[in-house]
Structure formats: structure tokens, C-alpha cells
Amino acid sequence: MPSNCLPSIRDQLCKASDSSGRFLWSAAASVSLGDLLRGSSLGGRLPGLLGRSVLLATQDQLAAALALVELDGVAARLIICPPDLPAEHLHSVMARGGVDAVVSDQGLGGPLCVTCSLTITPVKSEQVERRLTEWVLLTSGTTGGSKMLIHDLRSLTAAIDGLNLETDVVWGTFYDIRRFGGLQILLRALLGRGSLVLSSAAESVGDHLLRLGALGATHISGTPSHWRRVLMSPQARAIAPRYIRLSGEIADQAILNSLHSFYPQAAIAHAFASTEAGLGFEVNDGLEGFPASMVSARGKVAIKIEDNSLRIRSARTALRYVDGEDQALADKEGFVDTGDIVELRGDRYYFLGRRNGVINVGGLKVYPEEVEGVINRHPAVQMSMVRSRRNSITGSLVSADVVLKGEPDLSSANNQIADLKREILQICRESLAAHKVPASIRCVSVLELAAAGKLARHRA
């Protein structure tokens, strides 16, 4: 293992002089970064984890964050279990990752099990030889199990390096920090002199917003689906962010406009990021898609479009798959294929959807996200999900589930909903090819989100 030329998270935190006033907050507890630097959440058992391949599997998100700070630069490899990893996959993840130690707050068995907790015990500072830890992240793949991707602190933080670092930033995120999107925010908070308000799976959207508001969150991050739920909450006014960040799904113009009008004081950015490709780029002009000029432009991130899919090469992409796995991560030129299909219209590229999410209507492709983007333009629509519906004639047709803003007036609910459906279809017909227009629209009260905060698409 090469010696580390990049200071570990802990070393970087120690260098910053202001850590005592900085916190990590969960729904139930908080820890001051200053206390963490003077002690350990691992009961002083960190030296035993030196050079090991450590599985971090906690129930509590804050416990995971504390352990990550301690283990970076000490463990040879750090495998971060997402909260929704099915129990039956755990053994395979451990075997594939070559795990020889487990850090957990739930008494998991295993080769060497170290308990982590929210209690910081004072420890004497020991000089340990630092190393560049491999961070292994699992993708939120819904079929065929998760992929395990290796990053290191350099790839994870290359986008943070060089940013203007404000000192009074309180980050909030709707993500879980054990996935790529949330981990990016944890690292921004830690290395960018901020604090962080963590999410909690058990907490309602309204309570989370109240907590974010009470703790003065200034920078808040989530998927477009997370943000649509925020705007549906009566507590949406509890927060007053200066910066809103969307990633993980396509940010369509409707959600960008809604957020801008609801939080006019906030700068709004949508970022393209994935576990494989790392943080690709951010778009700050308030418009969906991204300027075509970004493709082929010289910079830290190179972008190319091949077979209509977005490909990215940068120092921020994952290094490789854990076990060599089935396929190469990058092509010969080092570009990672994101699997996101884009279309050039005028001087801008627009995201159409995921290559593997395509609906086949009589041999013609439909990307659900493209249709959702059009449906969401209707002012009464809060969010929508387009799915395939089996049909005896064409095989599949496009069908849409729609969540409306507010409750329809009960006295005329049926007529009102029928009118709304007609209007939505009219917008679709004006903007989409006939095979992309939903054959049916259902009004539903809620759309399920998967653990990663994206719409739960149950693909066949």
C-alpha cells in the first residue's frame, strides 16, 4: 500500500482550527467534531484496524460518519454498507471485499468485530502510519445485486478541492451518507469547515424540515424527488437555504422553477454525479440539461457523447470495481459510460433517461424521465412517474402515475381530475411523439421513493 500523500480526513480536520464549534447532528444525537478529534467512537480499538479491510455496517448513520472519520487513513480498505443492503447479500459483500474486520453498532459477528457508538471516549493521540484508504461504495442497483466500486479520498474530494470554503455553512441532506450522494455532502461538510444535519429514515419529511430549519441549514442537498416532497410538505417554509443542490436524478425545468419561486434567496444547482463516474459537473444557470459547450471543453472533467450516452473522464471517477468484475469501468481513453441518454436541442444537451430504463412501445424507445419532465410542466402536478404498462397489442404502453399539488376540490373532484388529465395529455401531445404520450394517467396520493431517494422504479 503506498504511503499517503493526501492527508486523511482526521489530519485535515486537525489542521482546521475551528472544529469545536462544528457538529454532526442526527435526529437523536449530536457530536462535536472537536470532541471526536480528541477521542474515539471505536472505544480506543482503532490501532487494531490498521491496514485491515474493514466492513462498516451500522444501523445509525451518525455512528457511521464518526467511524469513517477515524478509519480513513488507517484501514487499507473501507467497505461502506448502505442502510438497505439485504441481509442475505452481506456475506457475499464481505467475501468480495476481502473483509477481515467489521465495525458495527449492532453486534454483527465476523472476523474481528469492533463496536462503534455515539459515545466518544477520550484517547491518547497516537502517531499511526497513515495510508491511502480504499473506499468501497455499493451502487443502488435494483437487479443482479449491487456493484462494488473503489474510490479513494482523492477521487471523492477532487471536486471539493479548490472550492471557496465558507466557514458558516451548515449542510443538510436528504440522502444517507452511506451512499455516494450523501457521502459527497459529508465530505464537503467535514473538509469545507462546515457542520452537517443528517437525515433519519424514521423521521417524517415535516420533522426533518423542522430540524433542518432549527439548526439553520444553509446548504441542502437531495434528489429532485426529495425536493418535490419538500414542496408538498406544510413545513416547507421551515427551511431557508442559501444553496439548494439536486442530483441523482434528472432535474427537470419544473422542479428548478418551483424551487426558485419557493426559495428565491437560494442559489440552485443541479449536479451530475454517480458512484461510477464520481461528481461529473454542476449546472448553475437555473436551466435543465447542460450547455453543449461543456462537451469537448478543456478542463478537469472531459465529457463526450457516444451512442447518445454521456461519458465522463476525470480524477473523480471510481478507480475500479472491487473484484475486477465483469466489465471495465472505463473505455480505452478513460471515459466512464454513465448510461444516461442525452439529446442535443439547440445549444444544450437534455437528459432523456437511463439506457436500461427504456420502455419499448411497438419497437420504439421511450425514456420515462423524458415523459415525466413534460408532465411535470403542468402547474398542478407535483411529481410523476412513468412506467411501462403491458398491452396485448403493442407489448408495452406508457402509463403515468401523477401526484397533484394540494387536494382537489371534493365537490367537483371527478370533473376536476378528468380536466387535469386532459390538460396533461394535451401538453404531452404538443411536446412528445405519439408513442411517448401516456395511454393512461392515474392520480395517486404519493409515489414511493427508494432508499437512495430516487423514484422507486419497479422494472421488469
| C-beta of residue 219 within 8 angstroms of C-beta of residue 98 | no
Q: Which three cell numbers stand for residue 45?
A: 480499538
CA nearest to 63, candidates 117, 107, 24: 117
Decide: is 361 part of the binding site for other proteins (CB under 8 A).
Answer: yes
Q: How many residues does the chain have?
A: 460
CB of 414 to other proteins, least distance (A): 14
| 371 counts as binding other proteins under rule CB under 8 A | no
Compare residues 280 and 438 and give the one whose CB is closer to other proteins. Answer: 438
- Tell which positions 194-253 bind other proteins, by CB under 8 A: none
Closer by beta carbon to other proteins, 195 or else 399: 399
CA distance 236 to 206: 8
Shortest distance, CB of residue 382 to other proteins, whole angstroms? Answer: 22
Letters for 415-434 (x = contact with other proteins by CB under 8 A, - = none) are: ----------x---x----x
**Could you tell me which of 134, 41, 141 has the C-alpha nearest to residue 79?**
134
Indicate the SS3 state at residue 54.
strand
Alpha carbon distance 441, 83 (integer Å): 33
* 366-382 burial code (b ≥16 CB/10 A, e <16): bbbbbbbbbbbbbeebb
DSSP character at residue 411: G
Q: What is the largest CA-CA distance in the chain?
A: 72
Least distance to other proteins from the beta carbon of 389, Å? 7
Nearest-approach distance from CB 410 to other proteins, in angstroms: 22
Note whether 440 binds other proteins by CB under 8 A.
Answer: yes
69 vs 400, beta carbon nearer other proteins: 400
Please select the residue that binds other proteins; options are 294, 439, 443, 444, rule is CB under 8 A: 439
Least gap, CB of 428 to other proteins (angstroms): 10
By the 8 A CB rule, do 439 and 399 touch?
Answer: yes
Q: How far is the CB of 363 from other proteins (least distance, A)?
A: 11
Q: What is the rounded CA–CA span in Å between residue 54 and residue 70?
A: 12
Burial of 405 (0-12, 13-18, 19+ CB in 10 A): middle
CA torsion sign for 242, 247, 253, 259 is: negative
Q: Which is nearer to other proteins, 79 or 397 (CB)?
A: 397
- Under the binding rule (CB under 8 A), the answer on residue 365 touching other proteins is no
Within 316-345, the residues that bind other proteins by CB under 8 A are: none
Q: Which residue, 221 or 399, is less far from other proteins as judged by CB?
A: 399
E strands of 105-147, at which residues?
A: 113-115, 121-122, 134-138
Give me the residues paired with residue 348 across strands. Answer: 291, 345
The distance of closest approach from Cβ of residue 392 to other proteins in the complex, given in angstroms and rounded to an integer, is 4
User: By C-beta, is 93 or 428 nearer to other proteins?
Assistant: 428
Residues paired with 32 in a beta bridge = 23
* CB 444 within 8 Å of CB 403: yes
Q: Pick the binder of other proteins from 21, 141, 334, 362 (CB under 8 A).
A: 362
**Of residues 340 and 370, the one with the C-beta less far from other proteins:** 370
- Phi/psi for 447 (5° steps) reads -115, 135
Nearer to other proteins, 230 or 428 (CB): 428
* CA distance to 55, 73, 94, per residue, from 1 (Å): 18, 11, 20
Closest CA to 280 of 338, 355, 362: 338
In this complex, which beta carbon is closest to other proteins, that of residue 29 or of residue 413?
413
- Of 294 and 443, which has the nearer Cβ to other proteins? 443
Q: How many CB atoms lie within 10 A of CB 443?
A: 17
Beta carbon of residue 425, minimum distance to other proteins (angstroms, whole number): 8
The minimum distance between CB 394 and other proteins, in angstroms, equals 4
Instruction: Give the number of residues in contact with other proteins, rule: CB under 8 A.
Output: 16
Site string for other proteins, 377-416 (x = CB under 8 A): ------------xxxxxx--x-x-----------------
Min dist. Cβ of residue 430 to other proteins (A): 11
Q: Report the interface residues with other proteins, using CB under 8 A.
A: 361-362, 389-394, 397, 399, 425, 429, 434-435, 439-440
